[in-house]
Amino acid sequence: MRTPFVVGNWKLNKTIAESLALVTDLKNQLGAVKGVAVGVAPVFSALHSVAKRLEGSSIATCGQNCHYEASGAWTGEVSAPLLADAGASWVIVGHSERRQFFGDTSESVGKKARAVLAANLGAIVCVGELLAERDAGRTLAVVDEQLAGGLAGIDAAGAAKIVIAYEPVWAIGTGRTATPAQAQEVHAHIRAWLANRFGAATADTIRIQYGGSVKPSNAEALMSEKDIDGALVGGASLEAADFIAIVKAARPS
Ligand code: PGA
């Protein structure tokens, strides 16, 4: 059985004080939740404070991105080992906003994922098609290409520290969620791809999150699909009550 994993991606939001207020609520209210793993991805400037506040809880602190080199002349970047040093245990790589606005490619996402694993952290590798690609019937081909690049050079041992997040770009921040059936179709395809790459037994253990306008009202229907193992939540992770409701919806019934 895969333990669902629900991660709040706060994007470019929240001061240190606001971040601490939110995680304090989460820590107090999610302390007793069983059967679901939880993480939050604050901005880098708040990450260390958040990780400190979460010490002694099972809520993981995640980076939203990293550079693929560990150190050096890379002004403005942060590396996986330094995120680990600041208290992160996971790093999101290949988010569609990184691909769209900051030049991330499937190849660089793969380098980042390998750097994350080399730093002994878990990598959440994001994939997902644009609306035009879905309309052109290219969804599965796009996802295949992003998986091939994002997981390049990763073996079955590395796969144990990988989570895939399927986030259709047209559903991110738009209020327009994929239907559970639309999401499940892609998740099943991703699992088959993983089985082909790593073997069925390993593929069965890899969690595949759904992301894109997940909210309390649609979380349970999405996460009751067979191959949907949690969620990567943007907007609805900024309020404790909404995020907690989504976490609770992910518990296996
Ligand atoms: P959203 O964002 O929940 O606001 O759609 C999801 C994401 O970008 O990870």
Spell out the domain ranges in the chain. Answer: 5-249
Q: What is the pLDDT along the chain (253 residues), one digit of tens a residue?
A: 899 999 999 999 999 999 999 999 999 999 878 999 999 999 999 999 999 999 999 999 999 999 999 999 999 999 999 999 999 999 999 999 999 999 999 999 999 999 999 999 999 999 999 999 999 999 999 999 999 999 999 999 999 999 999 999 999 988 888 999 999 999 999 999 999 999 999 999 999 999 999 999 999 999 999 999 999 999 999 999 999 999 999 987 5
Is 124 near ligand 1, meaning CB less than 6 Å away?
Answer: no
73 alpha carbon – ligand 1 mean position (Å): 32
Question: Of residues 67, 97, 167, 187, which has the active-site annotation?
Answer: 167
> Ligand 1 within 6 A of 38 CB?
no
177 CB less than 6 Å from ligand 1?
A: no
Return the exposure string of 216-251: e unless at least 16 CB atoms fall within 10 Å of the residue's CB, then b: bebbbebbebebbbbbbbbbbbbebebbbbbbbbbe
Q: How far is CA 17 from CA 22, 47, 49, 88, 248, in A?
A: 9, 12, 9, 18, 25
Does the pTM surpass 0.95? The reply is: yes
Kindly report, residue by residue over 191-227, the tens digit of the pLDDT: 999 999 999 999 999 999 999 999 999 999 999 999 9
Is residue 48 among the annotated active site residues?
no
Q: Are 194 and 153 in contact (CB under 8 A)?
A: no
The fold adopted by the segment(s) 5-249 is TIM Barrel (3.20.20)
CB distance 121 to 86 below 8 Å? no
Report how far ligand 1's centroid is from the alpha carbon of 64 (Å): 12
